[in-house]
Structure 1
Amino acid sequence: MRVGVLTGGGDCPGLNAVIRAIVRKGERHYGDELVGFLDAWDGVLDRRTVPLSVEFMRGMLPRGGTVLGTRRGSPFDTEDGVERVKQTMSDLGLDGLIVIGGNGSLSVACRLHSEHNIPIVGVPKTIDNDIVGTDVTFGFNTAVQIATDAIDRLHTTAESHDRVMVVEVMGRHTGWIATSAGIAGGATAVLIPEIPFDIDELCARLSRRHDRGRFASIVVVAEGSEPIPGTLEMEDKVLDRFGHVVLGGVATRIAIAIGKRTGFEARVVQLGHVQRGGTPTAFDRVLSTRFGVAAIDAVHDEAWGKMAVLRGEKILQEDLTVAVGKTRTVDMDLYEGVAKHFFA
């Protein structure tokens, strides 16, 4: 078979490992010819491709980012986008397309298959771990490890200066990274988008620690966290060209409020895109490889409209429709039942 591959949305540790697995099993086991599209859907629309081979992907397993390049956008953004996708696949003789991406990319893939009968298989990808249908997404484990390493280092400087360190991590709609890194790093408090926070309650908790002689505290906050309405003045929201709220800065507002209400010195650390880049962990390399193998197997099963997912210890196939328009939020048994017992 002749199969196209693209990566869409934000970059993520493990993308190259997925591509490598697709190519390795596709070429060596099935005798496939793999074609990579550069810069996500733009590459499909503009027919910018690169031949993918085992030799081309050599050494890519531990490499972060994506060798194919990635960006946001969709064929549905232009009037003739869908027809151009169909024409590209026809002219290149493609039997199917593997789309590796997050909620947005998988929604586009689902729509192209269900509404236009384009043969597509999906691979779920996001460091936020918020895709419905799979227990874990690759890249998440790496992001948590990076955030945990940072928190570990911040403990000592916080203790040396009797400071409150407010650490902002990624998490637009969910607090998976914040919760997991907060537990692993021994944070004082974790704020997540699922639960609006009370700045007065947070400051009271920090004051109680101070009264017990614990002057250093770590507050982990997901970038999409918001206060209970009317309790903390926030900056006006700004949208990017895709209509997404530009995030980043909530930690600064929180740190200022802590300083004013408690008198404690509070400093901000925004990890930002450091969480996305660099070498994937061993866990993410294994998961990415398993997803890639499952994706090319699904192509040969002609399981169009499906995506590879992790359920327990097994990789299974799930309908793309399961993920569309939904967000996998933090398990409250983890946040309320485990994490809160250690946040103090």
Structure 2
Amino acid sequence: MTRFTRKHNRIGILTSGGDCAGLNAAIRAVTFRAIEQHGLAVVGINDGTAGLLERPVKQMDLTMKVFAGNYLRMGGTLLGTVNKGDPFAYPMPDGSVKDRSAEAIEGFRTLDLDALIGIGGDGSMRILSRLATQGRIPFIGIPKTIDNDVARTDFAIGYMSAVDVAVDALDRLQPTAASHRRVMVLEVMGRDVGWIAIAAGIAGGADVVLIPEVPVSMAKVAAKLKAVSAQGRNHALVVVAEGVRLPPETDLKADCRSAGGIVADMIAEATGAETRVTVLGHVQRGGSPNAFDRILASSLGAHAADLAARGLSDRIVIWDRGKIVDVPLSSVAGQTRALKLDGTLVETARRMGICLGD
């Protein structure tokens, strides 16, 4: 566990990577706890690491007055964020990439901060951890991502709100599917993991859920949908993660259709069913955080502020079996947390008769 000595009684905070519901709640919690309990000043760095490259650095003072209004309930991030601004391979106007990490570190130094708190996903944690190590910046991480694939933590900020959006979509698709005797295919985010897809599929009563962790046999999918029809039901719901592992002959990158669109066409060909596809896309990132994400963000943010006040760094705060704890950043940065095929969600899906394509 790395320790540092506070010299300025000022900490910085930034958001990095894709936005999600609950980021403002986490920023609010850090600010409240740091100011009220520890007497620290809090500086918000705008636009993630890209803000550190600006001169002067893009920043704003975070005070209790800033959060007197509606930020707890608001989606997005009041600080702004970037997901293509890796300072170690920064995209330049001429198409080249440049290592600007030294500039980012210099930008941090100009703010006279004792430590930096970063709210990000697995990719952001890898970049921020590397930047902190190179610049000897005391750093504390807070996990956020709708994909829920940050290692060690049971939940990342934004995940459960995204699941709620997907379940609401299934609730709306089911009656129209029944009215028109259709198979409705819902594509959700999940490039590398299927956390959103499988949770939404269970909660939304899906018949088929296709996730990156399980290679898909369209014959198995077709058999499931035919079995549903044989039982007398005139419609079905299929959830597809965008990173689904389709048969080898299917080239997602070369095909102009979405993953959900490809699956819908395959189902129509294999079963003769009329299909429609809905791609949720960035709808899953927006909107107000649900109650759980507000609680999670508040708990993680307050704990992160406590670590900074105690002079502890190279840690990331996590939700572990109902408790907020902190673990070494090195055990999380750059890791991906996929669904376990013997885990609770996969087992529950199978017990409920949901076809996973295998």
Shift in Å, 1:77: 2.0
8 A contact 1:107–1:320 mirrored in 2:
no
Instruction: Give the structure 1 partner of residue 89 of structure 2.
Output: 77
Rate the CA distance shift 1:301–1:271 in 2: closer, same or farther, 3 A: same
Rate the CA distance shift 1:64–1:198 in 2: closer, same or farther, 3 A: same
8 A contact 2:317–2:324 mirrored in 1:
yes
Corresponding residue to 1:254 among 256, 259, 263: 263
Shift in Å, 1:248: 7.6
Rate the CA distance shift 1:315–1:335 in 2: closer, same or farther, 3 A: closer
Rate the CA distance shift 1:40–1:172 in 2: closer, same or farther, 3 A: same
Instruction: Give the structure 2 partner of residue 340 of structure 1.
Output: 350
Matched, 1:326 2:335: yes
Rate the CA distance shift 1:164–1:211 in 2: closer, same or farther, 3 A: same
SS at match of 1:98: strand
Shift in Å, 1:123: 0.6
Rate the CA distance shift 1:248–1:29 in 2: closer, same or farther, 3 A: farther
8 A contact 1:223–1:248 mirrored in 2:
no
Kindly report which structure 2 residues correspond to 1:171-320, keeping only aligned pairs within 5 A, or say none. 171-230=190-249, 233-237=250-254, 249-320=258-329
8 A contact 2:225–2:236 mirrored in 1:
yes
Instruction: Give the structure 2 partner of residue 63 of structure 1.
Output: 74
Shift in Å, 1:237: 5.0
**1:84-115 C-alpha deviation (Å, 9 max, x unpaired):** 23322222211111111111111112112334
Give the Cα–Cα distance (whole angstroms) in 1 for the partners of residues 178 and 22 of structure 2.
35
User: Percent identity among equivalent residues?
Assistant: 41
Give the Cα–Cα distance (whole angstroms) in 2 for the partners of residues 119 and 339 of structure 1.
42
Give the Cα–Cα distance (whole angstroms) in 1 for the partners of residues 311 and 283 of structure 2.
38
Shift in Å, 1:141: 0.8
Give the Cα–Cα distance (whole angstroms) in 2 for the partners of residues 29 and 289 of structure 1.
14
Which stretch shifts more, 107-116 or 87-96?
Answer: 107-116
Shift in Å, 1:261: 1.7
Instruction: Give the structure 2 partner of residue 243 of structure 1.
Output: none
The one-letter code sitting in structure 2 at the alignment partner of 1:104 is G
8 A contact 1:234–1:253 mirrored in 2:
no
Shift in Å, 1:4: 1.0
The one-letter code sitting in structure 2 at the alignment partner of 1:249 is S
Instruction: Give the structure 1 partner of residue 43 of structure 2.
Output: 35
8 A contact 2:52–2:105 mirrored in 1:
no
TM-score (norm 2): 0.90
Give the Cα–Cα distance (whole angstroms) in 2 for the partners of residues 248 and 43 of structure 1.
36
SS at match of 1:61: helix
Matched, 1:53 2:63: yes
Shift in Å, 1:81: 2.4
8 A contact 1:113–1:304 mirrored in 2:
no
8 A contact 1:158–1:216 mirrored in 2:
yes
Give the Cα–Cα distance (whole angstroms) in 2 for the partners of residues 169 and 336 of structure 1.
17
User: Structure 1 runs of 4+ off > 4 angstroms?
Assistant: none
SS at match of 1:111: helix
TM-score (norm 1): 0.93
Rate the CA distance shift 1:336–1:136 in 2: closer, same or farther, 3 A: closer
Gaps of 5+ in 2: 1-8, 91-97
8 A contact 2:117–2:140 mirrored in 1:
yes
Gaps of 5+ in 1: 239-246
Give the Cα–Cα distance (whole angstroms) in 2 for the partners of residues 66 and 225 of structure 1.
29
Shift in Å, 1:260: 1.6
CA RMSD of aligned residues (A): 1.6
8 A contact 2:125–2:334 mirrored in 1:
no
Which stretch shifts more, 35-44 or 334-343?
Answer: 334-343
Give the Cα–Cα distance (whole angstroms) in 1 for the partners of residues 42 and 301 of structure 2.
13
Aligned residue pairs total: 334
8 A contact 1:162–1:216 mirrored in 2:
yes
